[in-house]
Structure 1
Amino acid sequence: MPEAARDETLHVSAPPEADAQATPLDADATRIAPHTSGPRAPPTHTRLHTQTSTRTPHTRGSGLTLPGGSAHAADLEVRQVGRYQILAKLGRGGMATVFRAHDPDIGRDVAIKFLHASLCEDEEYRTRFLREARAAGGLSHPHIVTVHDVGEIDGRPYMAMELLDGDPLADLLQGGQPLPVRDVVVMGIQLAQALDYAHQRGIVHRDIKPGNMARLHGGQTIKVMDFGIAHMVATSAGEQRTRVGDVLGTPQYMSPEQMQGGKIDGRSDLFTAGIVLYQMLTGQRPFQGDSVVTLALKISKEDPTPIEKLRPEVPPALRRVVDRCLAKAPERRHQSGAALAEALQRVLAEMDEQARAGEGTQARGVPLRLKWAGLMALIVAVVMAITASVIVQRQQAALMAQVGDSGAALTRFIAAQNAVPALSDDWVVVDVALQNLMQTRDFESITVTDRGGVVRAASRPELVGQPWRAPAGEALGEAGGVQRTRYEAGGETVLGFSAPITFQGKAVGQVVLGLPERALAAVARQSQWLMAVLALVTVAAVALAMYLVGTWFARPIRLVGEAMDEITAGRLDFRISEQRKDEFGQLYAAFDRMAQTLQERAAPPAAEAPPPAEQPG
């Protein structure tokens, strides 16, 4: 093989059993293992027929060199290959190089892929590329790149495809940052639907990876590319079109059966779809190694790091879907792309339902967590209302008693202090004392009368000299020789206290004290507000706690419901496989035992061994 051609082919140098000191991996390179079942064709060097344009040579053309083309042709800005005008080089993979080209017959730009020159030397590779490219051309699906033309120009097979306005998914994942969970689910559904469409038509992609998927600009629509190296499943006559072990794909994105060179079907694509979903969710690949050997062992034997450890907010239902995709045994995975798409659609519906503000108003009923939260909030609200009412009443009564005692004591004190002046009719002294009291305390009024009930000193000067008339109001009773009343004065409620002035047991006058009730009312209102706030906070806290408890209970209940749906759909190999040290853990274990029993009963009975032949006597 010529040196230039040899450089275009990547070889898998060892099977998984070989020496672990293998060549370091290029994670996104498609690996090709040439078959060895027969002698190779003698090496030839095929050149594309290139017609140069009349445009001036351009020094940056080396980046646009066609595989097998001359260096001189590379320096030209536009080259003619068949009817296509090559405009730019878009990328290069392990099997082919892709260019942007213009098809003047239909006035449309396309992406045209040429098989590497090194692979063209093998007649079977060239024939297979054309056969499988034509098969891919028969795929018409909104999430599969459309193939417009397949052919061969001067011995170089090509495939002309639609030119996408978007970015490879590999570019979006380049920085190791995960994608939004909902976007991952939406793109996963599209990928599963595209694969199911291809699988139903007998085509297995076998190189699903971010580099072979593009997300179109302005949305979450994806397109699956590179069906040109797809694997044709066995025909009805049992012919395997593509030999096992020929095109391995990309090591980081291979299924265990692919790594081991075994027979593959659509479930292999679903494993690699699981790898892509895992990478989109976590920002890293589930299986990593320094060599093909190390990687093959991890893919075949080891489980990846659980998604919840790398990104805890990923919904458990989505984690279970990805885990099932990554099952080592094909029979433990989703059995079709349609099944995977259906599982992801259920996850999306659950996410959208949780995101809706009116989640509890759906026709299917009120969620358990809302029922519990509402019921407990109602119970606590009623209990708090009754309790707060009793507490406020008792507190107000206690405050009234305290104010009454204080007012009575103060009235008796004023009477005792003014007994001598009242006895000697020294009302000037009494008046001065009353004015001082009015300045130091918040009294509504203070009135002092003589033996005959005539006002002699008062906080209200207009009352002096007038017969005392007690204001009409509510009698509150007598305590300690002090009469207590409640009456209205000046638009506010006043507590009245009346006590006799005595000297050596003989009444010489009377003191009437008025205390405004507004201070007591302010304390009572503040107490009521505090009780109301306490009740609201308590009710809200209980409601939130019960909502969280209900949510905690709802997840395992929903998990069991989903597991029952899996069994109902006939997937008897489904297991919950979650360890919990509580009653739900016992429920999970009971479900797994039930599923195991159902699977064993549904399995066809093993053929009985023939009885041993009797030995001649």
Structure 2
Amino acid sequence: MSRETSLFSGRPSELVGQQIAGYRIEQEIGRGGMAVVYRARDLRLERTVALKLLAPELARNDTFRRRFTHESRAAAAIDHPHIVPVFEAGETDGVLYIAMRFVAGSDLRHLLDREGPLPPATAVRVAAQVASALDAAHDHGLVHRDVKPGNILVSRGTDSDHPEHVYLTDFGLTKKSLSLTGFTTVGQFVGTLDYVAPEQISGRPVDARCDVYGLACVVYEILAGHPPFLRDDDMALLWAHQYDDPPPLTEARPDLPPQVDPVFAKALAKRPDDRYPSCLDFVAALRAAAAGGGVVTGAAPARAGRQPGEERPKPPPRWAEPVFVERA
């Protein structure tokens, strides 16, 4: 079986035990449309890393390869507590790779699937940490363009006031220039449909406000249990992002104060000029709106099927579970 087949359509075990660029592959931990992520052992420094291997067809594109190398170095230069550190990026035997810190914990997608909607206080804490990471990237000229629960890792925090520590990952395929669109030079769309900004869909230039939109979609889902737009097919979903108003969050979360609805309406505005100028501005507005209603410490609503008055069991989060999943 060829290297290309074994990376992206073969059994996950086929690369286990093999060495690539000084890393011994131990286990597949994530798979998406353009990359596979493995837990691997750095044989030089004797540490565990997350090793991302990109699709072979990307490495064959000279323009993409140069941009990948340049932007990976730019991402590695960002020293921020909520951005997964990039240790190394390069090419070996025709395979582009990125070695990153391995985070022991869960991704937000896994957490939401398990726990359902989260309490407002948790949502604000998570949003603030992600917003801080995004704004730091923007300060370095990087636009993420694919903010989604699968790219947000949640690990154990330091104390009861900081019960979780959040990392943003997957900066290896960002756009360095603010004049570039949501498409890569090899014609692949960068973004996930539930969280994609209207300007990415239409191919217009993207900037930091594209990530404001994506973050708002994620935070909406944290609180509502689903993204702002639910449609039966992809084309209808793309249309909704471009032309439909998002439903008020309070329809799904009547326990939240009505002040949160205009906050999300602004963050999810169709025109970038009508959104908050930064991710932290959005989170600050959300925090103020939620606090004004006196519900920041309130509990999340029950899942469907819970009986009135019934206590919702809430086991302690399994933060130590060494899982994160990158979905396409």
**1:303-352 deviations in whole A, cap 9, x for unaligned?**
12211111111233333322221111111110112322432443466577
Bigger relative CO (Cα 8 Å, ≥ 6 apart) = 2
* CA distance in 2: counterparts of 1:76 and 1:124, whole angstroms: 27
* CA distance in 2: counterparts of 1:295 and 1:137, whole angstroms: 34
Determine which structure has more spread, i.e. the larger CA radius of gyration: 1
* CA distance in 2: counterparts of 1:354 and 1:160, whole angstroms: 37
- In structure 1, the residue matched to 2:206 is 264
- In structure 1, the residue matched to 2:172 is 228
- Asked if the contact 2:54/2:96 (under 8 Å) is kept, the reply is yes
Tell me by how many angstroms 1:286 deviates: 1.0
- In structure 2, the residue matched to 1:423 is none
Question: Which AA in structure 2 matches 1:172?
Answer: L
Q: Residues 140 and 317 from structure 1, CA distance in 2 versus in 1: closer, same or farther, beyond 3 angstroms? A: farther
**1:474-525 deviations in whole A, cap 9, x for unaligned?**
xxxxxxxxxxxxxxxxxxxxxxxxxxxxxxxxxxxxxxxxxxxxxxxxxxxx
Q: Residues 353 and 291 from structure 1, CA distance in 2 versus in 1: closer, same or farther, beyond 3 angstroms? A: closer
* CA distance in 2: counterparts of 1:69 and 1:229, whole angstroms: 21
- In structure 2, the residue matched to 1:304 is 246
Tell me by how many angstroms 1:107 deviates: 1.5
* CA distance in 2: counterparts of 1:325 and 1:244, whole angstroms: 30
Aligned partner (choices 235, 255, 267) of residue 313 of structure 1: 255
Aligned pairs for 1:116-515 (under 5 A) are: 116-174=55-113, 177-218=116-157, 219-234=163-178, 246-347=188-289, 350=292
* CA distance in 1: counterparts of 2:186 and 2:202, whole angstroms: 10
Q: Residues 316 and 119 from structure 1, CA distance in 2 versus in 1: closer, same or farther, beyond 3 angstroms? A: same
- In structure 1, the residue matched to 2:39 is 100
- Asked if the contact 2:197/2:213 (under 8 Å) is kept, the reply is yes
TM-score (norm 1): 0.44
Secondary structure class of the residue paired with 1:203: coil
- Asked if the contact 1:210/1:276 (under 8 Å) is kept, the reply is yes
**1:253-299 deviations in whole A, cap 9, x for unaligned?**
10011111111101011001110011011101111233332111111
CA RMSD of aligned residues (A): 3.0
* CA distance in 2: counterparts of 1:244 and 1:289, whole angstroms: 28
Q: Residues 107 and 351 from structure 1, CA distance in 2 versus in 1: closer, same or farther, beyond 3 angstroms? A: farther
Tell me by how many angstroms 1:120 deviates: 2.2
* CA distance in 1: counterparts of 2:8 and 2:199, whole angstroms: 34
* CA distance in 1: counterparts of 2:19 and 2:186, whole angstroms: 37
* CA distance in 2: counterparts of 1:344 and 1:101, whole angstroms: 39
Question: Which AA in structure 2 matches 1:201?
Answer: H
Q: Residues 233 and 244 from structure 1, CA distance in 2 versus in 1: closer, same or farther, beyond 3 angstroms? A: farther
Secondary structure class of the residue paired with 2:231: coil
* CA distance in 1: counterparts of 2:178 and 2:197, whole angstroms: 19
Secondary structure class of the residue paired with 1:112: strand
Secondary structure class of the residue paired with 1:296: helix
Q: Point out the structure with the larger helix share.
A: 1
Secondary structure class of the residue paired with 1:308: helix
Question: Which AA in structure 2 matches 1:214?
Answer: L
TM-score (norm 2): 0.80
- In structure 2, the residue matched to 1:467 is none
* CA distance in 2: counterparts of 1:289 and 1:70, whole angstroms: 32
Secondary structure class of the residue paired with 1:305: coil
Q: Residues 220 and 344 from structure 1, CA distance in 2 versus in 1: closer, same or farther, beyond 3 angstroms? A: farther
- Asked if the contact 1:84/1:104 (under 8 Å) is kept, the reply is yes
Tell me by how many angstroms 1:118 deviates: 2.8
- Asked if the contact 1:258/1:264 (under 8 Å) is kept, the reply is yes
**1:385-415 deviations in whole A, cap 9, x for unaligned?**
xxxxxxxxxxxxxxxxxxxxxxxxxxxxxxx
> Relative to structure 2, which stretch is displaced further, 242-251 or 174-183?
242-251
Question: Which AA in structure 2 matches 1:233?
Answer: S
Secondary structure class of the residue paired with 2:172: helix
* CA distance in 2: counterparts of 1:272 and 1:87, whole angstroms: 33
Tell me by how many angstroms 1:126 deviates: 2.4
Secondary structure class of the residue paired with 1:284: coil
Secondary structure class of the residue paired with 1:206: coil
Tell me by how many angstroms 1:222 deviates: 1.1
- Asked if the contact 1:190/1:222 (under 8 Å) is kept, the reply is yes
Query: Structure 1 residue 67 and structure 2 residue 11: aligned?
Result: no
Unaligned runs of 5+ in 1: 5-44, 49-64, 356-617
**Same amino acid, percent of matched pairs:** 37
Q: Residues 301 and 348 from structure 1, CA distance in 2 versus in 1: closer, same or farther, beyond 3 angstroms? A: closer
Q: Residues 66 and 137 from structure 1, CA distance in 2 versus in 1: closer, same or farther, beyond 3 angstroms? A: farther
Tell me by how many angstroms 1:111 deviates: 0.2
Question: Which AA in structure 2 matches 1:67?
Answer: L
Secondary structure class of the residue paired with 1:276: helix
Question: Which AA in structure 2 matches 1:166?
Answer: G
* CA distance in 1: counterparts of 2:136 and 2:294, whole angstroms: 26
**1:427-463 deviations in whole A, cap 9, x for unaligned?**
xxxxxxxxxxxxxxxxxxxxxxxxxxxxxxxxxxxxx
* CA distance in 2: counterparts of 1:76 and 1:300, whole angstroms: 41
**1:107-163 deviations in whole A, cap 9, x for unaligned?**
210001011123223222222222222221112111111101111111211110000
